[in-house]
Amino acid sequence: MSGSVTIENIHSGKGKSKFVFKVTYNKLSYVTKRCYTLGNETAGSIANRDELIREAITLRGDGVIAKDALETPSFIPSPTSGIKRSDYQAHSDDQKDEIVMDNKIVSSVTWLLEREQSNIHFWKYSGTLEHPQHTDKQGATINVFQHFTYLNSNKTLVLADIQGSESHNPSNKAGILFDLMSLTQSGDSGAGDHDEDGMQSFAVQHKCGQRCIQMRLEKLGETEEEED
């Protein structure tokens, strides 16, 4: 990417598998993430790269896409990357994300960049294998969106671990979804994909609301009342 970029040396947040760092890019606030563990194993540079690629595919490109490679005068990974330059040089060439400078191959660091969300109000709509039924208008909309996605994918995809926050625009009451996880038949969409067992958890737990009926979606479970 081009422009002015500043990244903090200490992570500002930590999840089950990723560190979160605050970034300022052209005076706008972002967060960037990298995996430090996947399952019970430490995430190395290649595993981190592959997992973030899968996550970016899951998000369908809705995040901010950096168009140019981030370049620094020394081409040395920043302290936030958790990676030593020697770690990259130990990999074979076909495993690297490469930048060529002065006829020398210097490996890059893989990051996933997205806009920083408001920290005023966060909502948790579902877990990895927990798909509660919501009766409020916003939650019920998420429920029918999950149902629609499941059927629209010919029952091959379930959206899970759905979280949201308020829009950055104070005049817009819309919510923004982030960190969506996929449950697929093949189980290879990324960390936490429990393949068919995960998909079955949704099919069993989902209870159709009035919005499911109004959209004439195929019934998956019992029908529950929800707010207008």
Going residue by residue through the chain, which has 228 residues, state the pLDDT in tens, using 9 for 90 and above. Answer: 566 788 888 888 888 888 899 988 888 888 888 888 888 888 888 888 888 888 888 775 433 333 333 333 344 566 676 766 666 565 555 555 555 555 555 556 677 777 776 566 778 888 888 888 888 888 888 888 889 888 888 888 888 888 888 776 666 667 778 778 888 878 777 777 777 888 888 889 998 888 888 888 888 865 555 544
One domain for residues 99 and 130? no
Check: CB of residue 228 under 8 Å from CB of residue 214: no
| Tokens of residue 194, six digits | 């429990």
One domain for residues 103 and 184? no
The alpha helices in the chain, defined as continuous H runs, are: 45-58, 85-89, 137-152, 195-205, 210-214
3-class DSSP state of 94: helix
Q: Pick from 65, 84, 115: which residue ends a domain?
A: 115
Quote the number of domains for the chain.
Answer: 2
- Angstrom distances, CA of residue 12 to CA of 19, 25, 112, 120: 8, 17, 15, 16
One domain for residues 77 and 127? no
Q: What is the pTM of this model?
A: 0.53
One domain for residues 129 and 53? no
Q: Identify the pLDDT of residue 123.
A: 82
| CA nearest to 144, candidates 209, 218, 201 | 209
Q: Pick from 69, 84, 115: which residue ends a domain?
A: 115
Q: Give the length of the chain.
A: 228
Domain that holds residue 140: 122-214
Q: Pick from 82, 115, 148: which residue ends a domain?
A: 115
